[in-house]
Amino acid sequence: MFPRLGRAVTQISKLRSFSSNASPFFSRCAYATVAQADDAPSQNDFPSKSPVNLDKLFWSKPCSLALPKDSPLRIDEPDYQGVRRFILKMLLFYSKQSTSIRGANVIYKRIIAQVDTPAIYDVFNLEKTFKITYSLLVLHMWLVLRRLKQEGKEGVDLGQYVYEIYNHNVEVRVSKAGVNLLLLTWMKELERIFFGNVVAYDTALLPDAKPNDLQIKLWRNIFSDDGTTTPDGTELKAAKAMARYVRREVGSLSLTDKESIFSGNFSFTPLENKASVT
């Protein structure tokens, strides 16, 4: 799915990692109304550690990903009182749109945190390149948008804000890499890839899909350089492990309550401890 992108990637090797029928999520809305998520700090490429025992990973049952009330990772809505709260209400700080935009920013931060962690590259024995990082970003965007869609129109509307933040973040990062003349072309190509991957993952989870369909889609979109090469033993194990990881995250997100999802107070399954499994 990446032949054209793969050829072009070599021209922008300095690009920073993303620290960034049609679905109803993706109708474009004016980004001027959406607050931009802060850029995550840039990180150097990190080589994979010695391979972990992938056969042991991601067999546990799904569970809620909601953050505990006392978690230091929580980002709760400010609870202003008195005159300050009155003024903020007058300024529509507590309006549904403003609350949704703040929630979407937190949600996107959760996605970036998982994609940026060195552990995800160590666990799945991946090199930190533009193509792989972008593929992981799309995968986790799909996981979140899929969960939001389960909440009906309200979730779809929030998903549009998340998508606009993602889209703006991708555009800024590509632009910062020096791709200005061909920026529009690049964004169109990345958008095409985004939609293609989303459809592929949705199809792989349909009831009539083959058991290994998701594994094949993940291999082509993330592990393979050109989408056609045959994986060796290690890469095949990694693709199978990622398929189990994805299915577990799908189940865990479904078990996560609406309030935690909408506020962004959830966290993907930590992978740091997985990298030490041998």
pLDDT tens digits for range 194-216: 999 999 999 999 999 999 999 99
Lowest-pLDDT range of 25-29, 68-72, 174-178: 25-29
Pair of tokens at residue 56: 């042991």
Number of H-type helices and E-type strands within the chain: 10, 0
Give pLDDT, residue 276: 58
The predicted model gives 218-228 an average pLDDT of 85
Pair of tokens at residue 55: 């056969």
Asked whether the predicted pLDDT for residue 262 surpasses 90, the reply is yes
Question: Residue 7 domain-assigned?
Answer: no
Estimate to the nearest angstrom the gap between the alpha carbon of 5 and the chain centroid: 19
Give pLDDT, residue 32: 29
Pair of tokens at residue 148: 């939001």
End-to-end CA distance of the chain: 32
Is 224 or 230 the better-scoring residue by pLDDT? 224
Q: SS3 for 66?
A: strand
**In this structure, are residues 275 and 49 in contact, taking their beta carbons and an 8 Å threshold?**
yes
Question: Residue 20 domain-assigned?
Answer: no
Question: Residue 99 domain-assigned?
Answer: yes
CA distance to 149, 169, 272, per residue, from 145 (Å)? 6, 17, 24
Question: Residue 270 domain-assigned?
Answer: no
Percent of the chain at pLDDT exceeding 70: 76
Give pLDDT, residue 229: 66
Give pLDDT, residue 48: 41
Pair of tokens at residue 227: 């989408």
Q: Which domain holds residue 201?
A: 54-263
Nearest CA among 142, 220, 133, 119 for reference residue 170: 133
Exposure string of 160-183, with b = 16+ CB inside 10 Å and e = fewer, is: bbbbbbbbbbbbebbeebebeeee
Question: Residue 21 domain-assigned?
Answer: no
**In this structure, are residues 235 and 54 in contact, taking their beta carbons and an 8 Å threshold?**
no
Residue 32 CA to residue 89 CA, distance in Å, equals 21
Residue 12 CA to residue 39 CA, distance in Å, equals 19
Give pLDDT, residue 25: 38
**In this structure, are residues 247 and 23 in contact, taking their beta carbons and an 8 Å threshold?**
no
Asked whether the predicted pLDDT for residue 232 surpasses 70, the reply is yes
Exposure string of 195-228, with b = 16+ CB inside 10 Å and e = fewer, is: eebbebbeebeeeeeeeebbbbbbbbbbbbeeee
Task: State the chain's mean pLDDT as an integer.
Answer: 81
pLDDT tens column, 140-190: 999 999 999 999 999 999 999 999 999 998 888 777 766 666 777 888 999
The predicted model gives 22-26 an average pLDDT of 38
Question: Residue 189 domain-assigned?
Answer: yes
**Confidence tier at 15 by pLDDT (50, 70, 90):** very low
Domain count, the chain: 1
Question: Residue 131 domain-assigned?
Answer: yes
Give pLDDT, residue 185: 84
Question: Residue 102 domain-assigned?
Answer: yes
Asked whether the predicted pLDDT for residue 38 surpasses 70, the reply is no
pLDDT tens column, 74-87: 999 888 889 888 88
